[in-house]
């Protein structure tokens, strides 16, 4: 009885098998790549959300600590920068939130206990460029931000007539307090970041205390 001759694969069959394996490997790689991209995108979104939450927490802390010194306006917004005075470290500090070139920034001066120092710091704060060492880079991809004040049971633009405090005058004997707008009952911040609109309303303590 003759032994049955074993038949091997032809070259065409081998090539077809290799082509199928290559196609399956390509599909598998595309699937893995898609999952990795999805994971990276989700992680980026989570990181951005966490960063936003931290920024908003700082925003609320600044507003909760607003202090009207009677020497400089406790709150002022010019469309680009919101400047406020707040209690900090046993003194009064100036804090500026601003939007420059798509970046959201926060600047804070050291706490002060002398009226002259606060007056001088306020005047210097009008010349901030966004490149000062004290500037904290908060967030990129911010295209616009607006601020509204809540007064008389209505929201009004912080830049509307009567909302912007005038800078105090300075005499030879030192700073002279000038009348300025009473603090609003609440502040609304509207920020456009990453193509999405973010709105946050904060109620201020009575008389900003």
**Is residue 13, in this structure, part of any structural domain at all?**
no
186 within 8 A of 100, measured Cβ to Cβ: no
Could you read off the pLDDT of 91-113 as tens digits, one per residue?
A: 999 999 999 988 999 999 999 99
Closest by CA to 92, choosing from 70, 76, 77, 124, is: 70
**Is residue 71, in this structure, part of any structural domain at all?**
yes
**Is residue 175, in this structure, part of any structural domain at all?**
yes
pLDDT of residue 4: 53
pLDDT of residue 160: 72
**Domain extent at residue 131:** 46-208
Q: How many angstroms separate the CA atoms of 48 and 194, rounded? A: 10
Could you read off the pLDDT of 139-179 as tens digits, one per residue?
A: 888 889 999 999 888 998 887 755 444 444 544 445 455 55
The structural domain count of the chain equals: 1
Asked whether the predicted pLDDT for residue 37 surpasses 60, the reply is: yes
**Is residue 3, in this structure, part of any structural domain at all?**
no
**Is residue 162, in this structure, part of any structural domain at all?**
yes
Residue 36 structure tokens: 């990795």
pLDDT of residue 21: 82
**Is residue 88, in this structure, part of any structural domain at all?**
yes
**Is residue 128, in this structure, part of any structural domain at all?**
yes
User: Pairing relation of β-strands 174-176 and 169-171?
Assistant: antiparallel
């Amino acid at each position: 009885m003759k032994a049955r001759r074993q038949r091997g694969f032809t070259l065409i069959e081998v090539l077809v098998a290799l082509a199928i394996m290559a196609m399956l490997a390509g599909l598998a790689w595309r699937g893995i790549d898609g999952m990795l991209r999805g994971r990276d995108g989700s992680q980026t979104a989570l990181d951005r959300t966490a960063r936003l939450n931290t920024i908003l927490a700082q925003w609320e802390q600044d507003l909760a600590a607003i202090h009207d010194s009677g020497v400089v306006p406790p709150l002022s917004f010019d469309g680009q920068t919101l400047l406020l005075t707040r209690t900090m470290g046993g003194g009064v500090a100036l804090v500026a939130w601003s939007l420059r070139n798509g970046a959201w920034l926060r600047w804070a001066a050291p706490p002060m206990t002398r009226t002259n120092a606060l007056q001088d710091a306020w005047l210097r704060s009008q010349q901030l460029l966004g490149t000062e060492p004290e500037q904290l880079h908060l967030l990129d991809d911010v295209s616009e931000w607006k601020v509204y004040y809540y007064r008389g049971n209505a929201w009004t633009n912080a830049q509307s007539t009567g909302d912007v405090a005038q800078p105090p005058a300075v005499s030879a004997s030192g700073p002279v307090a000038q009348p300025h707008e009473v603090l609003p009952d609440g502040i609304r911040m509207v920020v456009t970041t990453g193509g999405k609109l973010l709105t946050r309303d904060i109620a201020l303590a009575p008389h900003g205390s």
